[in-house]
Structures are given as C-alpha cells and as structure tokens.
Structure 1
Amino acid sequence: MNIRTFFGAGLCPLLLCFLFSASAMGAGGREDIIKMLYAVDFSDSRNEGAEPGFALEGEFGFIMASGNTDATSVKGKLFATHETATWSNQYEVEGLYTRSQRINQDNAKRTTAQRVYASSHADYKLLNPEQRIFLFADYEDDRFSAFDYQASIATGWAHVKWRDNASSFRYSIGPGFNFSERKNGDGDDNSGFIVRASAEYLYKWTSGARLRQFFSTAAGDENTRSRSETSISANIFDALAMKLSLKLDHNTSPRLDDATLNTETSVALVYQFF
C-alpha cells in the first residue's frame, strides 16, 4: 500500500474520527499528561468563556461563460466548528471543478481545474483555555499541480491571543511530517519533516458582516507550501450569506512550466445549516 492510499483512505479518516470523538470524551488521563508537561500554564479558569456547540455551513459557487471561451466552473465547501469545554475543533472539505472549451481550436471541452482539499484542526484546551495543544491533518489532490498529492500531519502549541464580541486572533506552531509525491513519472517521493505555522483573524460588524483572514505555511527541505484566504461575507437573510473570497496557494518547488503562486477569486452563497 503506497503513502497516498494509506493517508487518503486510512489515516486521514481515522484522524477525523478520533478528533471528533475525543472532543466529546472526558479529560481523564489526558489531563494528567498535560499537567505534567505544562504545569505552569494551568489555572482555575478552564471553563470560563466556553461556548459549547456545533456549527456547520455550506458554500456553493457556479460560473458559466460563453463566447470565445465556453467554461463551466463549480465550487463547493463544507466548514464545521465544534466547541466544548476541553476542545475547539475545525473541519473543512472543499472542491473545485472546471471544464472549458476554446473556440477556433478543436472545439473540445477539457477539464482545466480539479482539486479536492480536506483538513482537520483540533485544539486541546489547557486549564487556561486560551493556551492549547493542537493536532492537525490535511490532504490535497490537485490534478493540475506539480504533485500527485500532498498531505501532512502536525502537532504543537496554539494560543488564542485575544477574543471579544467583535474580533479574535489565534495562532499555532509546531513540528510535523509531510507526505507528497511528484508527477514526474517515477513516483519521486518528497516526504519529510516540516514546521507548520498558522494564524487566523476574525472580525464581525454589528450588521452581521464578517471578515476572515487565514494564513498557514508548512516549511520543509524539499518544498514549502503556503496558503492564504481572505474573505468577506454579508447576510442576505438569517441563514444565507454572500461571500467574496481570495485564495493564494504557493509552492516553492513547482514543475518547470508551472507558476509558484496560484490564485482563486470567487463569489459564492453560504448557507448556515446550524
């Protein structure tokens, strides 16, 4: 079994199940281990400010163009958050698919973009709930990138720098391992150790409009993969919003004929299921 099959079909779903189920478990033995490692960070404020709950939103965008270029593009995304007294979790699955046809050439439609990405991020709260230990796993399959697949796992330190009714800022940093394989015909394996860091800023206006800025980077010897997403959303009515987003994906070691930076600008409808 190769790494792609193991991670995509085995490890990633297993991690997702573990992180989701662990958030509903009691602290028990985990707390004893955490206390030994981070005793100086514990206080009596563990449950202060905890807002338990599960939220799920779905995003859908569709573009159809005609004329000199006939193109159809579909984008979808599911984003969930799960908050308990001891865990703060985020789950994300997104996909992009585009088919296009150039007039005055062979008039044949071809797939020009096909990408699937999934990630899970779990923060285990210490007795001071703003200080945490994170677990992270992600998997990306981009048909038109330099890599057959890219995946990673990481763990380390996370901190909510501030959080109030209007805004919040959080960051994380820690070691991990990257799994990747290049599309060069011989299955060149670029797996290795990485250092992963991420930061997220959220701001909410009194009108209900929201701004989100997210950045992450996974730095390794063979390649450094960075992602940035800037989005603004405004409510249409209670459960439906319009979202404008800009995504940047950067790889330091692409194929010779590929750009190091890929950008994606989209307008989509977002529905808040619960």
Structure 2
Amino acid sequence: MKLFKLASLSCMVCAAFSAQAAEPSTAEVELGVIATSGNTDSTSLKGKVTINQELENWKNNYQLDALYKKDEVEVDGVDEEQTTAQKLFVSAQGDYKLNQEHSALFVYGSYTDDRFSGFEYQSTVAVGYSDQLFSTDNSFLNYNIGPGYTFNETDDGEKNEAAVVRLAAEYQYELSENAKFTQLLSTEAAFDSDNNTRTRSESAVSANLMGNLSMKAAYTIVHNSEVPADNENTDTTTSITLVYLF
C-alpha cells in the first residue's frame, strides 16, 4: 500500500509539470551492480534516473534514486542472507522562468523511504527562488532557496511536521573535454532546533567512455540532526556506476 501511494504521488507530481510537453528534453540513467562470493557473499544494486525538461516557461527536473544491498551474515552460527540497505528517494522540481537569464520561482517535492534509517518515510514540499550565482567557460553554480514544510514518521509510528528553509546548490566544473566534477548539496533546516534538519550531499567525478556512455564515481552523504534511538545520524554511500544519456 505504501509503494502504491508513493507511485501515485510521483505520477501526479510529474504529470502536473510535464503536461506542457510530450517528451523530456534529456534523460540520464545510471546503474551499478557489485556482487561478491567466496569468503564474503554480498550483492549491491544502485540505480538512478534523472529527467530534465526545458520548456518555454518552465524548467523541470525529476529524480529517482534507489539503493539495495544484501549480505550473508552469521546468525546463531548459521549463515543467512539479509537485506542490509534499501533506500528509495523520489523528487520533482518545477522552475517558472522569470526572464531570459536563469532566475525563476520554483516548487519542489520529495519523498524518502529508507528501511534502515529509523524513519518509515520522510517528505518535503517547498517553494522559493532559484538563480545562477556565476557561470564561466568551464564551470557554473546554481542555487535555490525558499520556505518549506517537512513530514516524517518513525518506525515506531511517531509522526512529526515542521517548517523549514530549503537551500540547494549545484556546482559543476569541467576537468577536461571528457571529464567533469559535480557537487550537489541541499539542506532542509528546521526553524525549531528540536526538529530534524536534513542534509544531502553528492560529490561525483564522471568520465565519458564513448558516445553517450560515461562512468561515474560518487560519494553521497545524508545527515539527519534528529533520529530515532539506536540509529546513526549520518549515512554514506560510495558508488561506481555506468551512466547513459538519452
């Protein structure tokens, strides 16, 4: 039922933004698989889909990011396969262009389902202003800022809501003709220090292999200032994936 609600919410948000165009401008799909056997048995799967639309009055971005990991662990002297990581992050943002440059008004929504975070779900909605701070021949820095609201529920059924300020930035630097560095950073800072402030960071280097196919190495950090008991505040993921641009 929860997955059905998530799928329905994602479809409604995407449909609202994409009604003005039949096809996305670009779609980027990345996939990474790691499997080991022998002394250590484990399987890891990471996938991400990013869709960008460049319309006359709107610039839209949709994202789905998933991670699954299964390891063989010893329980009471018996080896058993157990799921050790299962994460799903979905977001959509629409930017209404104010002029021919980069300034825009945005509306944003996200949903996170992380099985081992202590939260049943975490969700955010926000509106505000977006612009480009600077742009050179080989780099740029975009940002957006605005008020929002977060909703979450812990595994124990405790529900929390809070007003936040959302600040996000995207930096890109071309290392060479075939390689680039990207830094994505976002924080949803609660007005009340007793409520959770959530921060996501992805640092990545990607290199073109051939045509539209690239390889990407990334380091992702997710930090929650307030978490349920017996849970860590910070999760990190190191990944190597193949990326295909449509």
Residues 128 and 172 from structure 1, CA distance in 2 versus in 1: closer, same or farther, beyond 3 angstroms? same
CA–CA separation in structure 1 for the residues paired with 2:136 and 2:27? 22
Q: Check conservation: 2:60, 2:93, Cα contact below 8 A.
A: yes
Mind listing any 5+ residue stretches in structure 1 that lack a counterpart?
26-52
The DSSP-based 3-state class of the residue aligned with 1:241 is strand
- Bigger CA drift: 53-62 or 100-109? 100-109
- TM-score, reference length from structure 1: 0.82
Match of 2:53 among 75, 82, 93: 82
1:196 aligns to 2:169 (yes or no): no
Deviation track 1:27-48 (CA, whole Å, cap 9, x = no partner) reads: xxxxxxxxxxxxxxxxxxxxxx
Amino acid at match of 2:171: Y
Deviation track 1:98-150 (CA, whole Å, cap 9, x = no partner) reads: 11103583211011111111111221110253211011111111111111001
Query: Which residues in structure 2 correspond to 1:120-139 (within 5 Å)?
Result: 120-139=92-111
Match of 1:227 among 200, 204, 208: 200
Match of 1:170 among 142, 166, 184: 142
The DSSP-based 3-state class of the residue aligned with 1:191 is strand
1:92 aligns to 2:90 (yes or no): no
Deviation track 1:67-116 (CA, whole Å, cap 9, x = no partner) reads: 44311111111111111232222111111111110358321101111111
CA–CA separation in structure 2 for the residues paired with 1:55 and 1:153? 24
Higher strand share: 2
Deviation track 1:147-175 (CA, whole Å, cap 9, x = no partner) reads: 10011110001111223442111111111
2:236 matched to which residue of 1? 263
CA–CA separation in structure 1 for the residues paired with 2:11 and 2:151? 16
How big is the shift at 1:255? 2.3
Residues 19 and 95 from structure 1, CA distance in 2 versus in 1: closer, same or farther, beyond 3 angstroms? same
Mind listing any 5+ residue stretches in structure 2 that lack a counterpart?
none
CA–CA separation in structure 2 for the residues paired with 1:245 and 1:234? 12
CA–CA separation in structure 1 for the residues paired with 2:98 and 2:27? 25
Q: Check conservation: 1:68, 1:103, Cα contact below 8 A.
A: no
CA–CA separation in structure 2 for the residues paired with 1:66 and 1:102? 13
Amino acid at match of 1:13: C
Q: Check conservation: 1:68, 1:102, Cα contact below 8 A.
A: no
CA–CA separation in structure 1 for the residues paired with 2:172 and 2:234? 25
The DSSP-based 3-state class of the residue aligned with 1:18 is helix
Residues 176 and 101 from structure 1, CA distance in 2 versus in 1: closer, same or farther, beyond 3 angstroms? same
- TM-score, reference length from structure 2: 0.90
1:111 aligns to 2:83 (yes or no): yes
Instruction: Give the share of equivalent positions with the same residue, in percent.
Output: 37
2:183 matched to which residue of 1? 213
CA–CA separation in structure 1 for the residues paired with 2:51 and 2:7? 21
The DSSP-based 3-state class of the residue aligned with 1:16 is helix
Amino acid at match of 1:231: A
The DSSP-based 3-state class of the residue aligned with 1:85 is coil
1:20 matched to which residue of 2? 18
The DSSP-based 3-state class of the residue aligned with 1:253 is coil
Q: Check conservation: 2:73, 2:82, Cα contact below 8 A.
A: no
Which has the greater radius of gyration? 1
1:249 aligns to 2:222 (yes or no): yes
Count of residues in Structure 1 that have an aligned counterpart in Structure 2 = 241
CA–CA separation in structure 2 for the residues paired with 1:122 and 1:174? 13
The DSSP-based 3-state class of the residue aligned with 2:160 is coil
